[in-house]
Amino acid sequence: MTNLTDPNLTELGVAAIRDGVAAGDFTAVEVAEAFNANVAAASALNAFIVATPEAAVDAAKAVDAKRAAGQPLGKMGGVPIGMKDLFATTGVQTTAASHMLEGFKPQYESTVSQKLWDAGAGMLGKLNLDQFAMGSSNETSYFGTVISPWRRNDGGNAALAPGGSSGGSSAAVSARLAPAATGTDDDFARLSSRARNAEYAIFAYIGISAIVLVFELLELTGIVDLMSLTPGPL
């Protein structure tokens, strides 16, 4: 795999980060800064369309303040995540990887992202994908192809596709740029990305319920999930 900066914090999964922050083993800000450093060091993967390091740190500061005040931190408290750029995020460019939407900053928040922020998560940035989620290799994005952090097991160094349409999400999690990331599934897409990057899906928030403000022709079988390298429930 690609050799990135590797603080111990970025090797932890979602539950370990959340529980460690709650126990005071480390701060949410320390976690956010560690993952921000990995994101900055891995631009060659092109996993992120937009990085939002300040948003990640601000959310982390809010979690640390809640802990200091003895307040509940939430099921994702202190966990910074990558947000697939298919979901509207208030004031942050949302493009669905299309040139047509470049520069568009919504004045509203998607159902998926709002639930995650309400649970205490922070945003590391908006992740690359096949344009309008129409693809299975992450090669149709206006912002360029996503490169998998994995390499061939025969010693070859050719760039590999991360699958799609959630290729930015799967590459980011595999490379430890984020402990988890949102992805979408229309029967095959998410399975392709996860299979190519040895990941798990955590069906924690949306399942097959109604989804608001997603830039995709979502099928009736569409699912929104979190991708993670750590199996098991949150």
- The percentage of residues in the chain with a pLDDT greater than 90, rounded to a whole number, is 58
CB count in 10 Å sphere of residue 124: 27
- Give the pLDDT band (50/70/90) at residue 154: confident
Comparison of pLDDT for 100 and 139, the residue scoring more: 100
Tokens matching residue 36: 């921000």
Q: What is the pLDDT of residue 196?
A: 45
Q: What is the pLDDT of residue 231?
A: 54
- The percentage of residues in the chain with a pLDDT greater than 70, rounded to a whole number, is 76
Match 């970025």 to its residue by tokens.
Answer: 10
Instruction: Tell me which of 16-25, 42-51, 110-119 is least confident.
Output: 110-119
Q: What is the pLDDT of residue 155?
A: 77
Instruction: State pLDDT tens for residues 216-233.
Output: 444 444 556 566 665 555
How does DSSP classify residue 138? S
Of 65, 130, 122, 135, give the one whose Cα is nearest residue 98: 130
Question: d(Cα 228, Cα 93) in Å, to the nearest integer?
Answer: 24
| Contact between residue 209 and residue 155 where contact means Cβ atoms under 8 Å apart | no
- Give the pLDDT band (50/70/90) at residue 126: very high
* CB neighbour list of residue 130: distance below 8 Å, 6 or more residues apart: 97, 136, 137, 138, 139, 140, 141, 164, 165, 167
> What global pTM score does this model have?
0.81
Question: d(Cα 158, Cα 144) in Å, to the nearest integer?
Answer: 17
Comparison of pLDDT for 165 and 43, the residue scoring more: 43
Bridge partners of residue 180, in order along the sequence: 228
**What integer is the mean pLDDT of 121-135?**
93
State yes or no: pLDDT of 112 exceeds 60: yes
Q: What is the pLDDT of residue 105?
A: 95
Q: What is the pLDDT of residue 179?
A: 93
Instruction: State pLDDT tens for residues 28-83.
Output: 999 999 999 999 999 999 999 999 999 999 999 999 999 999 999 999 999 999 99
| Contact between residue 47 and residue 127 where contact means Cβ atoms under 8 Å apart | yes
**What integer is the mean pLDDT of 10-27?**
95
**What integer is the mean pLDDT of 173-180?**
92
- Give the pLDDT band (50/70/90) at residue 183: confident
